Amino acid sequence: MSQRIYIFDTTLRDGEQVPGSQLTTEEKIVVAKELERLGVDIIEAGFPISSPGDFQSVVAISKAVSEPVICALSRAKKEDIDAAGEALKYAKRGRIHTGIGSSDIHIRNKFNSTREQILEQAVAAVKHARNYVEDVEFYAEDAGRADLQFLAQLTQAVIAAGATVVNLPDTTGYCLPDEYGKKIKYIYENVSNVHQATISIHCHNDLGLATANTLAGIQNGARQVEVTINGIGERAGNTSLEEIVMALKVHKELGFETGIDAKRLYPISQLVSEMMRMPVQANKAIVGRNAFAHSSGIHQDGFLKHAENYEIMTPQEVGVPQSSIVLTARSGRHALKHRLELLGYRYDKPTLDTLYKRFLDMADIRKEVNDKDLMELIR
Ligand code: KIV
Ligand code: ZN
């Protein structure tokens, strides 16, 4: 039996913090409804104290979406929590996500505080949030760089205060997978009440390790992952939802499953990219333009013999209509023959050899040869 991993989507909160990507409330509702269809378990809808617009968006999403839990962010401050609680009034199932810095770097340089004061403030915030909702998530910001013993002490205290989920974020994308995995393991081994809550992971991609760190967190006991569509988010972004979902799906032997309808991954990636004005890089895993495009002769030949030779999942599984063979000067005869046949032309070997030579000349000049170019070649 596979274990369920809960997908907490923060595209509309951490993702929306990206400069130039702000959405109107109406646009956020469109994305939230697609996230609901995709099957995410929790939607982080916004940070209500941050602006009247964000407050309004959390209210509107709470009304428009009924299946996932709707979550609102707050700092560990009474006025933030009050705003989050108020904004979640219409949510069928609401969650307040409150928290504070946990690393000594943050405690000293951001809060000018002490570990003892942080602990007190964290406990008070969780208790206050419980006056609004039964489901309270606590985030220990910068857990990736926090002292392990203090992190365990903080986790123990917030669970005792009523936190149902504890998020241990690698806020600065600093950790290595092995290190982050050990951190989560340490929490499981040293926090006596840990099984009364769900441990959540939230990774940033500053070293390009967000997906690897998130997988390490799962393999060491975390059961909720905080992710965004296309991995958008602060600086180098957050863990990408589609990468985690497909890594768990392709590697069934790990024994985890999600509630995501993978066929909706590509359509929602396109929607978010367009609405948030964030182009998806061509070689982005799962949803990039080249994710199922084969361009070298060796790969094309192998792919045409059997797709499994060069694809570990089918494009259709993630909602991409089909794989593509890109004709370039690196393509071989097999790929050219295949494309010509798709266009309805079959040739004997000598004619194909002649066409192939001309094709290479054309490809050297035009870089990529499309169907229109091929028709010109045939003529
Ligand atoms: O990266 C982070 O630590 C966050 C928290 C607010 C959860 O986004
Ligand atoms: Zn974050």
Between CA 264 and CA 9 the distance in angstroms is 15
Q: Where are the beta strands (DSSP E) in the chain?
A: 3-4, 6-9, 42-46, 69-75, 94-101, 135-141, 165-167, 198-202, 224-227, 256-257, 293-294, 324-325
Percent of the chain at pLDDT exceeding 70: 100
Inform me whether the pLDDT recorded for 1 exceeds 90: no
Structure tokens at 309: 């030779």
Mean per-residue pLDDT for 244-270? 98
Instruction: Look at ligand 1, atom 1, and give the residue with the nearest C-alpha.
Output: 171
How confident is the model over 299-335, as pLDDT tens digits? 999 999 999 999 999 999 999 999 999 999 999 999 9
Testing ligand 1's pocket by substitution, the residue of 54, 110, 167 carrying the most ligand atoms inside 8 A of its CB is: 167
Strand partners, 135: 95
Structure tokens at 108: 């000293």
* 202 touches ligand 1 (CB under 6 Å): yes
* 169 touches ligand 1 (CB under 6 Å): yes
3-state helix, strand, coil in the chain (%, to 5): 50, 15, 35
How confident is the model over 59-103, as pLDDT tens digits? 999 999 999 999 999 999 999 999 999 999 999 999 999 999 999
Q: Which residues contact 89 (CB under 8 A, 6 or more apart)?
A: 59, 62
CB atoms within 10 A of CB 345: 15
How much distance in Å is there from the Cα of 11 to the middle of ligand 1?
12
Between CA 98 and CA 76 the distance in angstroms is 6
- Give the number of the atom of ligand 1 that is nearest the alpha carbon of residue 141: 3
Structure tokens at 116: 């003892």
How much distance in Å is there from the Cα of 373 to the middle of ligand 2?
47
257 CA to centre of own chain: 15
Angle subtended at Cα 50 by Cα 45 and Cα 53, rounded to the nearest 5 degrees:
65
* 171 touches ligand 1 (CB under 6 Å): yes
- Give the number of the atom of ligand 1 that is nearest the alpha carbon of residue 14: 8
Look at 15-19, 31-35, 47-51 and tell me which has the smallest mean pLDDT: 15-19
Between CA 11 and CA 362 the distance in angstroms is 44
Cβ-in-10-Å burial (0-12, 13-18, 19+) of 30 comes to middle
How confident is the model over 351-373, as pLDDT tens digits? 999 999 999 999 999 999 999 99
What protein residues have CB closer than 5 angstroms to ion ligand 2? 14
Between CA 190 and CA 47 the distance in angstroms is 32
Predicted pLDDT at 117: 98
How much distance in Å is there from the Cα of 202 to the middle of ligand 2?
6
- Of the candidates 258, 277, 274, 257, the one whose C-alpha atom is nearest the C-alpha of residue 266 is 274
φ/ψ of 326, rounded to 5, equals -95, 120
Between CA 135 and CA 149 the distance in angstroms is 26
How much distance in Å is there from the Cα of 174 to the middle of ligand 2?
13
Between CA 256 and CA 195 the distance in angstroms is 18
Higher per-residue pLDDT: 110 or 1: 110
Percent of the chain at pLDDT exceeding 90: 99
Inform me whether the pLDDT recorded for 118 exceeds 90: yes
* 44 touches ligand 1 (CB under 6 Å): no
Mean per-residue pLDDT for 288-304? 96
Inform me whether the pLDDT recorded for 53 exceeds 90: yes
* 47 touches ligand 1 (CB under 6 Å): no
Q: Which residues of 110-121 are buried (b: 16+ CB within 10 A; e: fewer)?
A: eeebebeebbeb
* 139 touches ligand 1 (CB under 6 Å): yes
* 16 touches ligand 1 (CB under 6 Å): no
* 14 touches ligand 1 (CB under 6 Å): yes
How confident is the model over 187-240, as pLDDT tens digits? 999 999 999 999 999 999 999 999 999 999 999 999 999 999 999 999 999 999
Predicted pLDDT at 164: 98
pTM: 0.96
Higher per-residue pLDDT: 1 or 184: 184
Inform me whether the pLDDT recorded for 145 exceeds 90: yes
Cβ-in-10-Å burial (0-12, 13-18, 19+) of 107 comes to buried
- Of the candidates 91, 1, 109, 105, the one whose C-alpha atom is nearest the C-alpha of residue 46 is 91
* 68 touches ligand 1 (CB under 6 Å): no
How much distance in Å is there from the Cα of 197 to the middle of ligand 1?
19
Testing ligand 1's pocket by substitution, the residue of 14, 81, 214 carrying the most ligand atoms inside 8 A of its CB is: 14
Tell me the average pLDDT of the chain: 97
* 98 touches ligand 1 (CB under 6 Å): no
Between CA 43 and CA 62 the distance in angstroms is 10
